[in-house]
Chain A
Amino acid sequence: MRPDEIEEVLRDTLRHEVAEATPRLADLEERIVAELGDRLPRLRFVDWMRSLVASTQSGRVGQLAVLGATAAVFLIVGMVITQDRSGGSILTPTFAPTVASHTSQEVLFVVPALDAERVAVVGDFNAWEETPLSDENEDGIWTASIPLDPGRYEYAFVIDGRWWGQDPSADEYVRTFGQYSSVRYVGGGGDGV
């Protein structure tokens, strides 16, 4: 199969998955905005959405196959948010990470886990012991805000007991003991928060 044919098949698949996921997207943006309304590090969430859109558009077969329906959902949300940002959306970045601050910063961890019952984040900052994320309005968007001092932090999400180490909003990834972990630089050269 030629690359342009693969691209076409992928587009069709994506279109189909988007159509299937559309009913679940009703008011999704409002729900996310309401959930994150009081959080400062909004920029990260928008960046995450954009990165999802970018990786999807690049046509990486493996990523698309793995992301499946979830990617489709976030593709739409990402597009909506991108459009809204140009029109002055509430998600317009209002937070600029400080550089080399000695004070801790609230770092937002967000992960979509639509049917999960329990989501936690583990990392260097909690000695790899679970800090639970919450999904108070039960829309499948789990969040936790953790104060961190400047530095480099490895972390992963644990979704219903399963390791999920590739957070799209991470600055980089490492692979140890055969599994991936995400990395964020807080207060430094990475995007951090």
Chain B
Amino acid sequence: MTRNGRRFWQIGVLLAVLIVTTFGTAAALSRADFDHALDAIPLTSHDRILAAIDLGLSQAGFPANELLSLIQRLALIAAPAEEKEAILLMLARALEQGLSIDGLLPAGSALASAIEEGLPIEGVVLEALKGIAQRSPTSVIVAGITQRLTLLREVRDLLFARQIFRASVGTSQSSPTALPATRFDELVVQIADAVSDYLEGGGSPFDGAALYELVAVRLRRLPESVVRPEDVDLVLDRIGPPDLTEIALNVLS
């Protein structure tokens, strides 16, 4: 073998090692690994999610390791299983439509963090599912998820600042401003949703009065079984147009 021949041989071996170390781990993950990981979460749509992952495994560059990490992380979060399932279903729906979940995975992680914080994410996931149904670009969907999560945090913090609190799950209402968790969460979701719709509809964040009016109308139109009139009165008494303008600006910045 000539000197040049030996060099080519060495380069070839080096490349082979690089390729194996780069792609070998992803290739090593199989349907069984995901099946096992999903078993740790009580899912009603285990088979559907697994079938979607199967589709993904056949995609080039499928982020198998990242997805497995997310599933394992979700399994460890102390939160209702349906919230974790919602995130996985969002990813499954994207895979079913042949979309790459590369861009969506960070949003999945952000949603997992939101669950850990106790934020009600169902509405955010529904928005993402709407975006997927509309075949919107992944980047647009991710931006929407990020905006809505920010809004949930901002609205929750505003209510806290106005002395409206979220009582622990299962406890009774000890004061008029310590709302049971489900009622508090519903208010946060509806206010955040209204602000988001306003901004996405092209409304000016500086027009706090219009924003406040939209929130008020939205809350008052909801059935009593969704939000109670006394809760709506409490919130509308304690927040004002400047608060909503500030929230809108924070989201946009």
Contacts and interface: CB of A to CB of B under 8 A. Distances in A.
A116 interface: no
Contacts of A185: 221-223
A116 B190 CA distance: 35
Given A175-B200, A175-B201, A128 B222 contact: no
Contact of B224 (A99, A163, A175): A99
A117 interface: no
Interface stretch (A2-10, A14-22, A43-51, A148-156): A148-156
A128 B130 contact: yes
A160 interface: no
B201 A174 contact: yes
Nearest to A99: B223
A150 to B, nearest CB: 4
Contact of B223 (A124, A151, A158, A179): A151
A154 B200 CA distance: 15
Contacts of A174: 197, 200-201
A163 B134 contact: yes
Contact of B126 (A127, A163, A178, A188): A127
B89 interface: yes
A83 B218 CA distance: 34
Nearest to A158: B133
Interface size, A (range): 20 to 34
Interface residues of B, number: 28
Given A188-B221, A189-B220, A189-B222, A177 B141 contact: yes
A174 B131 CA distance: 13
Contact of B226 (A152, A171, A179): A152
Interface string B119-144: 00000001101111110100011001
Contacts of B226: 150-152, 188
A68 to B, nearest CB: 24
A122 B46 CA distance: 23
B21 interface: no
Contact of B225 (A100, A122, A124, A171): A100
Given A176-B197, A188-B226, A128 B221 contact: no
Interface in B124-179: 126-127, 129-134, 136, 140-141, 144
Interface in A20-69: none
A6 B90 CA distance: 49
A128 B132 contact: yes
Interface in B50-103: 89, 93
B133 to A, nearest CB: 4
Which 10 residue pairs of A and B lie closest in terms of their CB atoms, listed nearest first?
A188-B223, A189-B221, A100-B224, A150-B223, A128-B133, A177-B136, A128-B129, A187-B223, A174-B197, A177-B131
5 contacts: A152-B222, A177-B130, A177-B141, A185-B221, A187-B223
